[in-house]
Structure 1
Amino acid sequence: MLTLILILLPIAAGIVTLMAGERMARQLALVGSLAALGAAVAVWLQFDPAAGTQFAYKYAWIRSLGINFAGGIDGISLILVLLTTFLTPLIMLSAFRHDYRKPGSFYSLILFMEAALIGVFTATDAFLFYLFFEAALIPVYFLAAVWGGENRLKVTLKFFIYTIFGSLFMLVALVYLYYQTPGTHTSDITAFYNLNLSAGQQGFIFWAFFIAFAIKMPLFPFHTWQPDTYTESPTPATMLLSGIMLKMGVYGLIRLLLPIVPLGMQNWGMLAMILSIIGIIYGSIIAIQQNDMKRLIAYSSFAHVGLMAAGVFSTSLNGLQGALIQMLAHGINVIGLFYISDLIYSRTKTRYLDQLGGISQTSPHLSVYFMILLLGSVALPLTNGFVGEFLLLSGVFEFNGKLAAIAGLTIILGSVYMLRLFQKSMFGPKGKLVEGFHDLTAGERAVLLPLIIMVFWIGIYPNTFLKLTEPAVNQLLQIVTN
């Protein structure tokens, strides 16, 4: 029942927040998100990595069709549930600096999205997975469309069309798989793992899933919605999109695509790997050229997710473990970087690097926090990004050494655009807009300090999280290779 409680807590908190009015909306939303974090920690403390799926629930949903409202948590699910519940309260706190109109609606949408994301990561029924996958789109659409920038309507419409288009491919694939199950049809995901599909059938399913998940992450060439949406959305929505929502696509590759269509992977995995690596290089080169801080971080996120996907398509233990730990690390780093860009914008009213400079002269604490998050993002040893990138590149090398050499350029290119971001904003002569820039407040440190702790925790003690996922990953690889 704990899994169901994890989903219901944010929904209940969202409803209460929506009804509470403007005065108490922020406090109630924060309490609701902290309650969900507490439930996730309770699951973590009771979780046995070797025991498979735990804390399961199952209720008849559409009984005549064998479709159930069912979920549970294994090691792969748990790492993403912990990420979601850890980041959501910090996103709430980061939003407290702004007086968003209709705060009840604003904060309740964040909570509803949290519930949908947890639902995606814990669903064991394919159609329930699809329901939550689509439900997560609705809150972020309204967050961007109502509280976004000047071009928000155009940008959010593009985002909505892209993601709905991709999801239709997944729905077609799920319906097809449902009718391939023998006897009384079922939509249980594990039943799909045991289907004996031909190479042609698996090729069709592979591309249907790939397009759906590649758009959500996004991967090259399905990425054109991402930079504009990240830039125009209010910063909390951008944090949700980059820190958690893109992980749904990587999770979908791991949970559905790999074990259901192993022959499809054999036939088309190389092409998917090449597209992922193109995205790494392409996104990094464009990030180097950006003048807008928020847009630069958006392209860096695009490059990072390409490496995660490449690790998944390597179908190796190192690649999959690297993808999972990197999802955790990337979520932490990118949330912190977007928050710092928002802090700088709120003080200077600009995000353009050529108008900044010299911030470190009056804000030493901000500079230190910024540098730590940046070093985690560029995979400095003993930071969270190093563990994931090392495992990912190791997995890609097992798949193909030449591709690994190209993918490895992410280390150099990532350092270039991130250090350029830091140098242009923190060092040099003070820009006119930086006059009067003040250091971090206590509330701003409360958001950044937990992120900094996690940067070092994952970097120094990665086994805390790798041991959670390894049994589930090994079990998945047995399905893929058999």
Structure 2
Amino acid sequence: MLTLFLIFFPVVAATLILMVQSERINQAALVAALIELVLAGYAFFSFRADATSQFGFDYAWIGSLGIRFSAGIDGISVLLVLLTGLLVPFIVLSTFNRTYQRPSTFYALMLYMQAALMGVFTARDGFLFYLFFEAALIPIYFLAAMWGGQNRIPVTFKFFVYTIFGSLFMLLALVYLYYQTPAINGAAHSSAIADFYNLKLTPGAQNWVFWAFFIAFAIKMPVFPFHTWQPDTYVESPTPATMLLAGIMLKMGVYGLIRFILPIVPLGVETWGKTAIILSVIGIVYGSIIAIRQRDMKRLIAYSSFSHVGLMAAGVFSQTETGMQGALVQMLAHGINVVGMFFVADVIFNRTNTRQLDQLGGITQSTPKLTIYFMIMLLGSVALPLTNGFVGEFLLLHGVFTYNHYLGLAAGFTIIFGAVYMLRMFQKSMFGPTSSRTESFTDLSSSESWVFIPLVVMVFWIGVYPHTFLKVTEPAVANLMKYIGTTAVSMK
């Protein structure tokens, strides 16, 4: 029942917020998000790694078709439930020094999106997963379209079309898998994800199902060459929406690779997995090179995120335990880092009205708190040892290198390039002489500091003591890898 509450509490809170017109509506949204964080934290620390799905519920949804409203938390989803509960309160808190028109609608949409994301990461039914997967698109669409930049309408429309296009392929794959399951009592089939794992699909069927799922998830992450919607959408969206997109929403794609593609179509992965890794590695290098050339801070961070998610996808398709473990812990670490980095860009833009690096400089002279937090989030992003980014990237690169030495070497350039563009951004914005825009720059307010403090704690917690997080995913990953291996062998 805890899972049910995690999904529907934000819905109830958002609906109540929509009905209230108050100057303190942001505080109500923060309280709701903090309650959700407490629940997600309880689920994480109460989770038994040696057990299967926990805190679940299962009700008949469309009984005549055998489709059920079934959800729970297991070792694959537990870190993402924690991430979704962790980031939203601080994304809400980051808005306290900003003014938004129609604030009730703004904060309600953020909570509705949190509910949909919780549904995605906990769904145990294929069609329920699809429902939440699509539902998460609606709030972020309106957040970007109503509060975005000057080009928000064409950019948001492109994002919407891309995502819907990919989701149609996933729906076709889910319908096909549904009809491949044995009929229940001769009347209905099953849409339970666990039942999809037991299917013995032909190699030809696995190949097309692989691509149907991969296109849907590759667009959502995104992976090269399905990434063209991402930079403009990240830049044009209001920063809280960008944080939701980069910090949590793109993880739906990586999660989908693990939850659906690997265990359901192992022969499809065997045939096309190398192609997927090559596309991911191309994205790593391409995204890094483009990031080096950026002058806009927000666009630079967007390409950085594109590069990092390419490494996660490559780690998943390496089909190694270290690669899978790395992808899971890196989703948590990347969400923390990218939210921190986008908030840095937002703080600078709010005070200078620009994100152009050539118009900044000298900020560190009057901002000791911002300088320290900026540097810590940056070091986590470039995977410095003892920070959160190092743990995930080390495991991911180990997995890719184990799969193929040359691809592992190419993927390793993400560390070098990442240091180049991140340190360049820090140098251009924070050091040197002040400009006309930065000469009166003020340091962080108390509410802004409280956004950074828990993120910094998580940077060092994951980096210094990663066992806290790895131990809860290790048994589930081991079981999944064992299943994948035995299924592929038995079907040859």
Tell me the CA shift for residue 303 of structure 1. 0.2
Give how far 1:44 is off.
1.9
Task: Provide the residue aligned with 1:396 in structure 2.
Answer: 400
Whole-Å Cα distance in 2 between the matches of residues 479 and 190 of structure 1?
12
Q: Does 1:4 align with 2:4?
A: yes
Whether the aligned pair in 2 keeps the contact of 1:17 and 1:24 (CA below 8 Å) is: no
Higher mean C-alpha displacement, 358-367 vs 156-165: 358-367
Q: Which amino acid aligns with 1:7?
A: I
- The alignment partner of 1:285 has SS state of helix
Amino acid at match of 2:94: S
Aligned runs of 1:447-462 on 2, under 5 Å? 447-462=451-466
In the alignment, residue 261 of structure 2 is paired with which amino acid?
Answer: L
Match of 1:328 in 2: 332
Counterpart pick for 1:428 among 420, 428, 432: 432
**What is the match of residue 101 of structure 2?**
101
- SS of the counterpart of 1:61? strand
Return the alpha-carbon distance in structure 2 between the equivalents of residues 353 and 450 of structure 1. Answer: 27
Q: Which amino acid aligns with 2:297?
A: M
- 1:296 Cα offset (Å): 0.2
How far residue 182 of structure 1 moved from its aligned partner, in angstroms, is 1.3
- Residue in 2 aligned with 1:372? 376
Q: Which residue number corresponds to residue 45 of structure 2?
A: 45
The answer (yes or no) to whether the contact 2:220–2:250 under 8 Å persists in 1 is: yes
**Deviation string, structure 1 residues 248-298 (Cα, Å, up to 9, x no partner):** 000000000110000000000000000000000000000000000000000
Q: State the alpha-carbon separation in 2 of the partners of residues 348 and 44 from structure 1.
A: 40
Correspondence list, 1:470-481, <5 A = 470-481=474-485
Encode CA deviations 1:316-362: one digit per residue, 9 max, x unaligned: 00000000110000000000000010000010010000000110011
Alpha-carbon shift at residue 197 of structure 1 (Å)? 0.4
- Quick check: 1:110–1:139 contact (8 Å CA) kept in 2? yes
- TM-score, length-normalised on structure 1? 0.99
Percent identical among aligned pairs is: 66
Per-residue CA deviations over 1:105-157 (Å, capped at 9, x if unaligned) read 00000000000000000000000000000000000000000000000000000
Could you tell me how far apart the structure 1 residues matched to 2:277 and 2:295 are?
A: 30
In the alignment, the residues of structure 2 paired with residue 183 and residue 66 of structure 1 have an alpha-carbon distance, to the nearest angstrom, of 9
| Matched AA of 1:239 | M
User: Residue 412 of structure 1 corresponds to which residue in structure 2?
Assistant: 416
Which residue does the alignment assign to 2:263? 259
1:241 paired with 2:245, answer yes
Equivalent residues of 2:382, 2:422 under 8 A apart: yes
- Please tell me whether residue 142 in structure 1 is matched to residue 142 in structure 2: yes
CA contact (8 A) 2:223 2:306 kept: yes
Matches within 5 A, 1:4-403: 4-184=4-184, 185-403=189-407
Q: Give the 3-state SS of the residue equivalent to 2:50 in structure 1.
A: helix
Distance in 2 separating the partners of 1:216 and 1:44: 26
Residue 183 (structure 1) shift: 2.2
Deviation (angstroms), 1:41: 1.6
Q: CA deviation at 1:45?
A: 2.7
The secondary structure found in structure 1 opposite 2:22 is coil
Instruction: Give 2:325's aligned amino acid.
Output: Q
Which residue type is aligned with residue 146 of structure 1?
M
Unaligned runs of 5+ in 2: 487-492
> For residues 42 and 368 of structure 1, what CA distance do their matches in structure 2 show?
31
Aligned partner of residue 250 in structure 2, secondary structure: helix
Kindly indicate whether the alpha-carbon contact (under 8 Å) linking 2:44 and 2:79 is maintained by their aligned counterparts in 1: no
Q: Is the 8 A contact 1:18 1:25 kept in 2?
A: no
Q: Which residue of 1 aligns with 2:490?
A: none
CA distance in 2 between counterparts of 1:101 and 1:198 reads 54
Structural RMSD (CA)? 0.6
Cα separation, 2, equivalents of 1:35 and 1:380: 33
State how many pairs are aligned. 482
Distance 1:472 1:116 in 2: 24
Contact 2:170 2:212 in 1 (8 A): yes
Q: Deviations over 1:37-84 (max 9, x none)?
A: 111122123210101111110010000000000001001111000000
CA distance in 1, matches of 2:221, 2:32: 27
Q: Does the 8 Å contact 1:22/1:102 carry over to 2?
A: no
Which stretch of structure 1 is more off in the superposition, 69-78 or 156-165? 69-78
TM-score, length of structure 2 as denominator length: 0.97
**Structure 2 counterpart of 1:480, one-letter code:** I
Which runs of 4 or more aligned residues in structure 1 lie more than 3 Å from their structure 2 counterparts after TM superposition? none
